[in-house]
Amino acid sequence: MNVPDELRYSSDHEWIRAEDGGKVRIGITDYAQDALGDVVFVELPDVGASVEPGGAMSEVESTKSVSDVYAPVAGTVVEVNADLADAPERLNEDPYGDGWICVVELSDPASLDALMDAAAYRALTES
């Protein structure tokens, strides 16, 4: 299982990459995409939507189930990966690259400190 060291992680299996200007890019982890199976549809959040930690912000439908994607941080959605509408399988093929879901402008940059580092996330998924 791929768990990049430079990312932060939520217990709900989302990854978070800090970007310039108090923004973060969010997607689902390799562990999550593997558990879901083949992704066939992604419902993206609306640009301008406010998200709160633990609140559903997106939905992923696979051949096995439909699962919510939860916001790991609070903020405003400023960009979505519109390419997922035509190619939802990118969540399976490249979860940490082309399979990102959205970019959120943080309302509290310190909230990143509450998220897990790669070692803690590995421990969570191995237990």
Return the SS3 of 85: helix
Domains of the chain: 8-110 (2.40.50.100)
Q: For 39-81, write each residue's pLDDT tens digit.
A: 999 999 999 999 999 999 999 999 989 999 999 999 999 999 9
| No. of helices (H) and no. of strands (E), the chain | 3, 9
Q: What is the pTM of this model?
A: 0.94
Confidence at residue 110, expressed as pLDDT on a 0 to 100 scale: 85
Confidence band, pLDDT 50/70/90 cuts, at residue 123? very high
* The amino acid at 47: V
36 vs 23, 49, 59, 69, 101, CA distance in Å?
Answer: 27, 25, 12, 12, 15
